[in-house]
Structure 1
């Protein structure tokens, strides 16, 4: 099992944020991710929204980074930590611009990027940005196909409803063979079909962990799945977050200081087919030093016990 780490102060979702994050500066965040890198965590993850209607701020917060910009900063402070969105809202930005951002980050970081895309849920955000919410699924499929063309072809071309190009050059290409690994986030059947067609990994949001084996079977049964290796991410802390960021108070979500309970939880997730997770923080972390102590403890006590 690979252990990932969330980026502190990258969002203020009420169901997940803790008060110790408030005083952090950008330099503090960079220092904490540099330590996570040295401790051997697999990758950092952070979410994205561009603008939040006021009626959603209480639960969702309005503090979000642009994922590629933030990951570029973290990439400059780290050497091995992989750099992942969680999630980038695919239909809200031009796919050529997104492909350029991700390939730039991959080239500059030496091939450490993983793009986790979602189609979005907040209709008002789409309305403000002038993107048709009802077409977001079709747009996502086209955008992914177009981005793969740009990342992998010497003479890329694409003809679709939402994006068209030919007789163009596009460089730098991503360092990673086959382009930036594509993860898809979300729970709908359409998302799982998108994983089968395009994905290297799946990170659902509200899918119960117990459903993972059936979902994995569904993905791998799709006619467009070509047998490529797939990874699967789930963190128990996500059980505390509702579809619109409501607080659910699921008793499985909070972190614990019990080594054996954490090892048992991770073993259970692994049996379900999950390959990556985050060890949740216990409630009431006092400050950034206590957070760093938790990372050190997880690296020393948990990581060796669950390493594949």
Structure 2
């Protein structure tokens, strides 16, 4: 079992935000990342939205980091831990630009990046960026193919419906081979198919331990899954968010477990259901120092039980 640690204060998502986070900034986030780096956490997860529609502020908050810039800063501040965008909407960036950004980060930091990506869901965000919302699925599939071409070919070339390039060089290449891992987010059959065909892992949202076996069975039924079955990551958040899908309206208070027995039960249930990795959100502690103490406690008391 692998463990991804949510990076607080990069967003202010109301359902999961701790009291200290709105006042926190760069110094706290960098100290938090270095603390996690000194422990045994596998990833730091990096949230992202480019813009937030004003009518979504109440349910999603106003602050969301840009995932590539945040990953680059945190990779430069750490030595061991990997970064995982959780989740970057792929249609927002031309694959040559994104491929170059990730290749550069990997070159400078010795690898350590995992692309968590999906089609995106905020229609107003697409409209603001001038990207066709109704084409996001085909664009994502094509961009995934183009990214792999950029990362793996000495002379990359691609001719698709949305992007075309030829007679170019793109270096530096990523350190991880054949390319940085790609985890696909989303709960729909289309997202799960995309994960099986194009991805190295799957990141569901609002999927419980009860739902998970059926989803995994569906992906295993797809021919593309067979060749990657022994290395495919299924990364599930331990937080049971009480929010509606897409609208993010709260249906009750989201409780983030912090005590040993509750945490162990959550992970055991997800592991039994088929998860290979978990994303952990620190509980809603009052102070930043308490949060640092908690992630160290988790590293000492919980992670060793699943290694």
TM-score range normalised by the length of the shorter chain:
over 0.9
Which residue in the other structure is 1:197 paired with?
197
1:135-284 mapped onto 2 (5 Å cutoff): 135-228=135-228, 229-243=231-245, 244-249=247-252, 253-257=255-259, 259-283=260-284
- Give how far 1:150 is off: 0.4
- Give how far 1:236 is off: 2.6
- Give how far 1:139 is off: 0.2
Q: 1:219·1:225 contact (CA, 8 Å) conserved in 2? A: yes
Q: Secondary structure at the residue paired with 1:180?
A: coil
Alignment deviations for residues 53-72 of structure 1 (CA, whole Å, 9 cap, x no partner): 11111111121111111011
Going from structure 1 to structure 2, the CA distance change for 1:55 and 1:154 (only over 3 Å counts) comes to same
- Give how far 1:250 is off: 6.7
Which residue in the other structure is 1:17 paired with?
17
- Give how far 1:171 is off: 0.7
Which residue in the other structure is 2:81 paired with?
81
Q: 2:12·2:21 contact (CA, 8 Å) conserved in 1? A: no
Alignment deviations for residues 71-97 of structure 1 (CA, whole Å, 9 cap, x no partner): 111111111111110000101111111
Q: 1:82·1:114 contact (CA, 8 Å) conserved in 2? A: yes
Distance in 1, matches of 2:124 and 2:93, equals 15
Going from structure 1 to structure 2, the CA distance change for 1:165 and 1:136 (only over 3 Å counts) comes to same
Q: 2:6·2:282 contact (CA, 8 Å) conserved in 1? A: no
Question: Which TM-score applies when normalising by structure 1?
Answer: 0.95
- Give how far 1:240 is off: 2.7
In structure 1, stretches of 5+ residues that fail to align are none
- Give how far 1:140 is off: 0.2
Question: Which TM-score applies when normalising by structure 2?
Answer: 0.95
Which residue in the other structure is 1:96 paired with?
96
2:130 aligned with 1:130: yes
Q: How many residues align?
A: 304
Higher mean C-alpha deviation, range 16-25 or range 192-201:
16-25
Query: CA RMSD for the aligned pairs?
Result: 1.5
Distance in 2, matches of 1:25 and 1:239, equals 25
Higher mean C-alpha deviation, range 114-123 or range 11-20:
11-20
Q: 1:220·1:227 contact (CA, 8 Å) conserved in 2? A: no
Q: 1:205·1:238 contact (CA, 8 Å) conserved in 2? A: no
- Give how far 1:98 is off: 0.8
Distance in 2, matches of 1:250 and 1:181, equals 34
Alignment deviations for residues 258-298 of structure 1 (CA, whole Å, 9 cap, x no partner): x2332222111111111111344333x12110001101110
Distance in 1, matches of 2:287 and 2:253, equals 24
Alignment deviations for residues 218-255 of structure 1 (CA, whole Å, 9 cap, x no partner): 1122133352120011113153332122223377x421
2:120 aligned with 1:120: yes
- Give how far 1:117 is off: 0.4
1:12-91 mapped onto 2 (5 Å cutoff): 12-91=12-91
Distance in 2, matches of 1:71 and 1:300, equals 26
Which residue in the other structure is 1:294 paired with?
294
